[in-house]
Amino acid sequence: MLIGAILQAKGSNVATVHPGATVTELLAVLAGNNIGAAVVSEDGFSIVGIVSERDVVRRLHDRGAGVLGASVASIMTTEVRTCAPDAQVEDLRQTMTTHRIRHVPVVAEGRLVGIVSIGDVVKSAIETLETEKAYLVDYLHR
């Protein structure tokens, strides 16, 4: 299965936040969209970083409550792993597992076109297994 198939099913909406936004503003975006991470972008199409709830919690622990007024740029991850819509889901699953990441932006022609979470990858694996099971059961009943 291709990453593009996941995006077709879930949609291509991506929550972004400006690097100059405060961590408090980031938290409002995460809570308002019921998501765990946002892509950091100056224009909604380029990627300068990614920031997650985990980043916020770790910085709160390290720096205290003052981090809530700090910029997103000060806590974001700048080395962002991305994938293309024509990438295989299995390859992305391996990357996410190996590098212990839960959200991967999808980029086509240098532009942000979606985001895939570990939950999306697991869901696609379950759907594939259920389809294979149905084929096998049908085969056995013939």
Domains of the chain, residue spans: 3-141
Q: Which two tokens stand for residue 81?
A: 């792993």
**Residue 138 binned pLDDT confidence (cut-offs 50, 70, 90):** confident
Q: Which CATH superfamily is domain 3-141 in?
A: CBS-domain (3.10.580.10)
Give the mean pLDDT of the chain: 94
Per-residue pLDDT, averaged over 42-60, amounts to 96
Of 26-30, 59-63, 87-91, 124-128, the range with the lowest mean pLDDT is 124-128
For the entire predicted model, the pTM comes to 0.87
Instruction: Please give the angle made by the CA atoms of 8, 85 and 75, to the nearest 5 degrees.
Output: 100
For residue 90, what is the DSSP state?
H
Mean pLDDT confidence for 114-141: 87
Greatest CA separation found in the chain?
66
